[in-house]
Every structure is written in C-alpha cells, then in structure tokens.
Amino acid sequence: MKTILASLAVAVETGKRNDAKNLTQSLVDKGMAPLDIVEQGLVPGMSAIGNKFKKNEVFVPEMLIAARAMKECMILLEPLLAKAGIKPKHTVVIGTVQGDLHDIGKNLVSMMLKGANFGVIDLGANVDPSKFAAAAKEHGASLIALSALLTTTMPAMKTTVDAIRASDMAKLKIMIGGAPISQEYADQIGADGYSADAASAVDLALSLVGETH
C-alpha cells in the first residue's frame, strides 16, 4: 500500500486525474481508512505542488490541474469520511462575495485547504453577506475565507466583514484574497489576513487557527 500511496501523491502533484482517481479507488478497495488515504496520499501531493509553487518552479496551471486531480479523489473519499464520522480539526467557510461570480481562484484555495486537512464549507459565488456567519455557526467553523476578483466587488467584501463582525460569530478569523486585494485593503476593512495565492493561503489559514507551521 505504501507504493500505491506514493504513486497517488505523485499523481495528485502532477495532476493526473484519472490515475489519482483509480489509485484512490484501489486503496479504498484494499480497505484502507479514508482519512489515511487523505493524510498519506493527498496531503503530501498537494503540499509538494504548493512548495514548488512557492519556489516559482510551477505556476497556476500546474496548481489547477493538481487541484482537479485532488477533487476527483475527494469525490470518492468525502462520503466515506462522513460515514466514518470523521470531523476535521478545523473547518473553514469559503465563498466569493456578493455581486462577483469569479470562482476559479476560490475553488483552488478550497482544494489547497482540503489538501492541508481543513474541512471546507464552500458557499459558492455571489454569496449574501449574512450567509457566512450563519454557515460558520452551523458547521462550527473557526475561519472564514472571502474571495473577490472585481474592483467593483471589493466593497461587498467590506460589507461581508462588517456583517460577520456584527454577528454572534464576531470573533471568527477572516482571511481574504483575489487579484485586486492587498494586505493594505485587508487592514483597512478589518480582515485578519490576506494572501496573494493559494499556496500561501494554506500557511495563512494554519497560522490564523493557531497551528504553527
């Protein structure tokens, strides 16, 4: 099983989605626990591609195909994880703010977070500001992540942060990102963190929930 896990990590890292899916299925068939498959197959694959990204050895295209391969595996594993009653240590609620329908970057961030063992509640795009706090409460999340790709929807990000701060989930950590966003803007609207890309988003998320990296 060790060699299959190693091949799975490589298949995820290199974005071979069919291989990744088949390898995951064969591990499931061999009776391996779903959490072990995530932790010993998918997580190493995603962290390898994330590290290469940080070193500028790969760019967004490679990240996106790796995330897509990971997604195929998670489609198989998520029902099994749920059935086994496995609750991730940290859950993040993520979404693109109201008025904005861009979701490719947000989906990549989601997949990277799953690849770091976060539970991810994805509210999709064009999300009403009030939905975030409600979902965080329902799922016991410790972090909210907001994405915006348009300069015209940056104000909706502020409205959303304000709505969270005005709710009974006011103390939740909030991280934001997207092409027009900057650290300065995060400070300005009272978000707890910003990161420029999906690889550093994982480090940020870990530090915001108090996991040293």
**Whose Cβ is closer to other proteins: residue 203's or residue 211's?**
203
DSSP secondary structure of the chain: -HHHHHHHHHHHHTT-HHHHHHHHHHHHHTT--HHHHIIIIIHHHHHHHHHHHHTTSS-HHHHHHHHHHHHHHHHHHHHHHHHTTPPPS-EEEEEEBTT----HHHHHHHHHHHTTT-EEEE--SSB-HHHHHHHHHHHT-SEEEEE--SGGGHHHHHHHHHHHHTSTTTTSEEEEESTT--HHHHHHHT-SEE-SSHHHHHHHHHHHTT---
Ranges within 158-187 binding other proteins (CB under 8 A): 180, 182, 184
In sequence order, the β-bridge partners of residue 210 are: none
**Whose Cβ is closer to other proteins: residue 127's or residue 145's?**
127
- CA nearest to 17, candidates 68, 62, 64: 68
- Out of 26, 33, 99, 163, the residue judged to bind other proteins by CB under 8 A: 99
Give the number of other Cβ atoms within 10 Å of residue 86's Cβ: 13
Q: Of these partners, ligand B12, other proteins, none, which one is at the site of residue 56 (CB under 5 to 8 Å by kind)?
A: other proteins
CB of 27 to ligand B12, least distance (A): 28
- Out of 51, 151, 183, 188, the residue judged to bind other proteins by CB under 8 A: 151
Q: Could you tell me which stretch among 56-64, 79-87, 166-174, 200-208 binds other proteins (CB under 8 A)?
A: 56-64
Binding of other proteins by 21 (CB under 8 A): no
CB of 212 to ligand B12, least distance (A): 19
Q: Of these partners, ligand B12, other proteins, none, which one is at the site of residue 177 (CB under 5 to 8 Å by kind)?
A: ligand B12
CB of 177 to other proteins, least distance (A): 14
Binding of other proteins by 125 (CB under 8 A): yes
Q: Of these partners, other proteins, ligand B12, none, which one is at the site of residue 109 (CB under 5 to 8 Å by kind)?
A: ligand B12
Ranges within 166-205 binding ligand B12 (CB under 6 A): 175-180, 195, 197-198, 201
Cα–Cα distance for residue pair 85/38, rounded to 1 Å: 15
Backbone angles phi, psi at 149, to 5 degrees: -115, -10
- In the complex, the residues that contact ligand B12 under the rule CB under 6 A are 60, 100-106, 108-109, 145-147, 149-151, 175-180, 195, 197-198, 201
